[in-house]
Structure 1
């Protein structure tokens, strides 16, 4: 009768044994039927699977070895060995049942002596293998003796033959053939009686400390081997003699060895019944899985530690399998993507982690696909935006890396990413601040020179107007020229405010009145209305009233222009306390928050980061200084301003200014009318044109004027006047004198000479804090260039009235 190997052998059982055999001995196995079909293959070396059989030229040598060994077996050889041209040894034996060959058992991929590294290095180069990987695979090839190979192959051959023969007899015979000397499992057969007396046990029960005779003698029952803590559970699962008990049982429990050591076993038990269906015996295969259980416990602990770590870190983590499907998301990843792990698991990675280019708005390619294709890690390109499930967008930075097993095989991908939206915003603000600071120095210098020119121009115009009647055509021309000069003054004032020279002249004030007046003035004659949300208990601030008014004017004007068809501007204020955890670049403490909102079309995304840049404008006739000035004013007040906008949804500018929780707004002093024209005023300035126009203004106001070109001359003139008994009523001094003594040093010397000196500091630009806090430096008043006759009169009147 003719048999096939598949009919005689339980392929699955034999495969399990071959896998165990490979793990114990290191020998690879392959069982083929007579048609050459591979039925079982275990433990093949990487050097063959990844290199020799993966390249056509070297694979041809492998086939040559296969053909040679198969031919020898057909010729009746019982043991055939062949040194493959690729440098390894292959071996084959026939599987014979009842005198007939039913299959072939191959092994090999080993060496009889340490490898000739130079040979393999040359061979690797010949076939184009990566040398390092190839030699690494070579290092894992076992070196064995020929005698051991012969014995192992004889053993495997007899094992297969035995299984085949017993398969001809009965199922029980095939099961019994599994009992081999070196089997990693122990076979038991015990009676379904009290204590479960053992009737059969395999020889390798010695691994539990007992000789087979001890168990077969009846002195040691199977139940006595089971750990007391597990015995009740095992008995319950076996279920006595009940008919509802399955014929096959699988359990994991602990056995106690003769020495008292506790070992975990995996017990696969078959139930035997009599003709009436009652259980009479149990037949089990117990495999020691202690190391596996320990490893599983360690793995469980490691997984718990990993879970705790993933929950604790501040970055988002997503892992994906080899098909690019999501396996895991940590809590941060859930928050940033909007996907719960239960919902995301199994979905395509790109569906959960959708990224676009911030500038082009085009979808970016999957970083996971890149890793799966190339096997190497990478980082996302700059300006990558994560689009969450609910549509929210965040700038992110990430790194993606392959996940490899112990054999360095790619098994998945891990992506770690973080939200850098706020970080980028702060970085951009710092960059803008540094850039504005540099440009501000230049702007301040230009404004200084321009203000000196404007002082002469505006002063002369204001004087000329006073000498011409209002109905005269010349008066109208002068009036227009004065208006143009005032517009130029406003422009230089914005430059000054934008530069470091625009230090605010602070005093305690309430913002509510300033906001209402400034907004109303700006919207006068406009189709836009303003809605105010101003609490009565709004904290006061220390600020420059004129500069804060300028901020409100600029923001309300922008809001009005954003709604050309009219609309509503909302201005709201609130008292807020910023804590140390705030992401605002401000010190902790009390602040007043001002928000100016419009309902226009919004600011384009590409422009939002540049709106505070000087000279950047989206308006046809804009100067690009409005928001730059606002930014500079708020910065110089130790505050913060930020803009948010949504296309088609309007814009909001939010300002934070330091507040005085306990401060009180001082009551404005009553104005006192003083007759002008009393005494002599000393004018010190390095610009001749300014000295001349100041002298003419003073003369027009009824004062005598004496001029000096620098501080040293002014001090000497002041000393001489005192000695003559004709002291100056007021000294008007420029703060900055290039190459000479300026107002700061001059006032010190004057006060040493006369503590009651009345001095007015005048400047168009200075980085010095004197302009903001002039009294602390000995001055009695301040006037900012350029100025008109009326402004000069007002300063002198106030000083002389006091």
Structure 2
């Protein structure tokens, strides 16, 4: 009946039967025969109803279907009928008593009924499964699912942890890595599985670079929790290094035996770097307290070299004009292995320097990890060490690059971490450098101040001695004798010298405070230079020095004529002071690139290289016998620089060294040539005597001013206090009052306000005399009612000029 199907059906591994619509057995496979106790022959089972053949046991009694032909409650029958009715598989559960060679066994069977079309008839295939076996399979399946779920939850949990986790077995072989561990080590979990822990977790000491002990082996050996030593770095699979901290703990089985190790570690690169930065900074600050700037820079470069693994290190200052670099220091290793001469003080024009100065041009750190492949590199000087790679960072302050720090020839490529490290320490270096330079400048300033006071004392005593001697002589010779004439000339000359010293001191103060006022007019620089040279020619002739003047085309500038003459005069005096006998000084005026320039060149004693950067500082003088014997306060060139810069110009000094002469070049912005105009008519007036009151508490000063003015034909009266001055003014009604500001009872401002309030004195011209001559001092005098302001001691020319103006205003 089932020919062809029987063989396949008999080989089906699960117990199966084919029944008709009356649930009679038509075919039983081998697995079902074994289950029902008829393995050898299925004949006793055929044509029996399913419930009877299977000894179905249900709620109606222990006999079950074995005692009923058509049991309505038979699970087997119900499943078959359902399958035939619906044409679909029907599953059910049925109690059953199996009778085999070992006796009867009650079990629960899972029945699956499936319709089968064969030879035009519909049959049903029943498959039977021992529910106990199925339950065991289900429990196993659930256990496997639960274990899989737990493993997945563990994987997700470990992946969510911010730390790296590695597990090993008792032989130190890796069994698991979480995602963070994969990222930090560079090993994938499946790649690392079974490998020795030392191969996956390679540790070194950050400072010594020596291999560090792996904590896993100690945990396996001692069975205790153990952590890494400080300053440990993890070397990843690609060579990247990270500072880490970790803790390793034993894994124990139920009996307490150590079966492995779990290692938890975290990336502490940023924290460790910050700690190291603080440590280095504090160390450098401590080092700087007892060492020079040069030593501090070298130590800083050595520290950065060790931190980045760079054998080359250098530090440059950048000039304020952003056009020039000066090499300040190399690292110790650079000097030892790569350089044969000190580089301190070497200057490099930025526009001519190589790619290493790109950080100044681009105002950002630059990395050249393949120097030889750079298309715009300019090459290296002969004998220069080969550059493989370099990192150079700028130090920026107030929008300007003030310095650069560079390292080179690291064994591997420079990274952003190196940029962060070098940039931070470059800033620290500038901070320390600025402090050291300020300290050195303060010490230099103190030294210069002491030297200045000594020089000032000397310079003041020098003219005072001949003045005192001349006065002594005048007391003992005839007033009109030749000796008296010479004595007066000495006094006049030495007094002029003292005035110039005081004027220089006042000018330096004004320039330092930015309070020099310029009376700008358009002038031809050639004329001022020529006139000033003519005025100083005698000075050169006395010292047997030839003075040459060379001019070309007109050089028009907008400038203060008096101050330009002062600038040129100071340069000429400096050249004369330091020129040798029978030497030559050349003064040239020319225009170039929209600039008017004055060049003063001498062939004298020259300037030492270490002095050249400070030659324009106040109170700086050449330290030589000639300099000391020629005198001077060391203010002349400082005044030159200040006055030139007030005009928007610049000045530079150069010298090839001692005994090689020197050169100073002053540059001013060129102005357009003026339009030709007819000369203004000169006003003429007849001078007349003035009624003048001098209010001055210094009796000598008051009397000398009065005597000078009387010699000019004026009628002069003196009052030595504010109160007496007001009384005399009311009494005399003078045309001019010269009033000191610093009187003991009433100050000059109070006196001016009283005078201006008097109707009878409103036309009187008030002239203030004060040792304070800043713009705000003049403005305060004007606000009080003064018509003019003269700085004390007033020059005779300034005093007479003020009185001359009064003649036309009164």
TM-score (norm. length: structure 2): 0.44
Which of structures 1 and 2 has the larger relative contact order (alpha carbons within 8 angstroms, sep 6+)? 1
- Computing the radius of gyration over CA atoms, which structure comes out larger, 1 or 2? 2
